[in-house]
Structure 1
């Protein structure tokens, strides 16, 4: 949506809310489109544990899509004469694709290994209490990748620097860590109570909260 320069715009709280809702909806649609290969692969492969490696490969488009969404949401301004979330999403996707993939791919590889181990504890012959540290590592990895993708969307730094800064943030910024953890809990609750489709619907709001938290707590 682009407003013609010079056209009268209702500069009010209601208009600003409408502009934000427009951006959330538009970014949400583009995120679903970018993640559609993953959604299709997930439906085709099902929830069989043996398909975890294939599901991980199918999930590769999600990282760049999330980074692009975070970039587009962060680009929102209260200037109602300049509404172009689609362009912001495409720009973020093009600029952050490589960096996001270098963060996302190792995370998926680690997550796949952890998931396979958690679902095959008896086969591996290890005690059941091993599930606790493996679960903690999984949670820490999810926190790290959320902050890392937000940093990727906000800055043009190399992936290694982003990875280190994300880890440092989790250890030194308890406010950011707590908020990101709360957002992940909400995302998990939405998925469990509804479905992956419900998570896709709620994703723009959760991503907006994530990028604003990281931008305020880490960048500025």
Structure 2
């Protein structure tokens, strides 16, 4: 992206974004600062967030697991967008004090703040991926040359990686949907390591689904999302510094 394009992007987003509401900081206590306590804090946060994510997404995931992929798959996956966004919010703002943990409250706060913004990006993303998947599964009937399938698959993969950036931004910051979309495309190439990290997690998720069971990524969604947040730290830091008021 040229310097002029970057300047226009910064001008468009500057001052329009802000951090999602954060819980008030609490004084760190001496009790619970050891490694075992930190491990207990992390495990408790992951398990609570995981349970709430699955409960939120259950109306779509349960029929999807029971009947498998159908033309209604995109509809079944709609609740997963806000659920994932709320989980990212809760994991990002997770507490470190064993005596003052509120992962459930953070998750519900994230769900309240992020449901509508997440759906504005998640819905068109699902529609596009559904059309792409249908095209690839019925590719022979299109009569197109094989290399077109490679282009379509590459486009779908790029869309998924863009969606990972967009989901992080919409979960942690308040931007207009179009600004989030533009920033996600900007970071897709600017922070190649973050994009490669998201790609590795996507490959890992696909491998677990194909080799083991589709339920395994759902059961490990909280650790996977925490890894995504860890990978995306440069994107989060730059957004906070350059694109928020």
TM-score w.r.t. the length of structure 1 is 0.90
In the superposition, relative to structure 1, how do residues 197 and 43 fare at CA in structure 2: closer, same or farther (>3 Å)?
closer
Give the stretch that moved more between structures: 179-188 or 189-198.
Answer: 189-198
Q: Secondary structure at the residue paired with 2:152?
A: helix
TM-aligned CA deviation for residue 7 of structure 1? 9.2
Match of 1:11 in 2: 33
Please provide the CA RMSD for this pair: 1.8
- Unaligned 5+ segments in structure 2 are 1-26, 238-245
Map 1:60-139 → 2, pairs under 5 A = 60-139=78-157
Match of 2:198 among 180, 200, 206: 180
Q: Secondary structure at the residue paired with 1:126?
A: coil
Could you give the per-residue CA deviations for residues 20-50 of structure 1, whole angstroms, max 9, x where no partner exists?
Answer: 1100011000111111111122134323xxx
Match of 1:35 among 52, 57, 66: 57
TM-aligned CA deviation for residue 125 of structure 1? 1.5
In the superposition, relative to structure 1, how do residues 6 and 122 fare at CA in structure 2: closer, same or farther (>3 Å)?
closer
| Kept after mapping to 2: 8 A contact 1:41/1:55 | no
Match of 2:168 in 1: 150
Q: How far apart, CA to CA, are the structure 1 residues paired with 2:219 and 2:114?
A: 23
Match of 1:202 in 2: 220
Q: Secondary structure at the residue paired with 2:141?
A: helix
- Unaligned 5+ segments in structure 1 are none
Match of 1:217 in 2: 234
Length, aligned pairs only: 211
| Kept after mapping to 1: 8 A contact 2:166/2:181 | yes
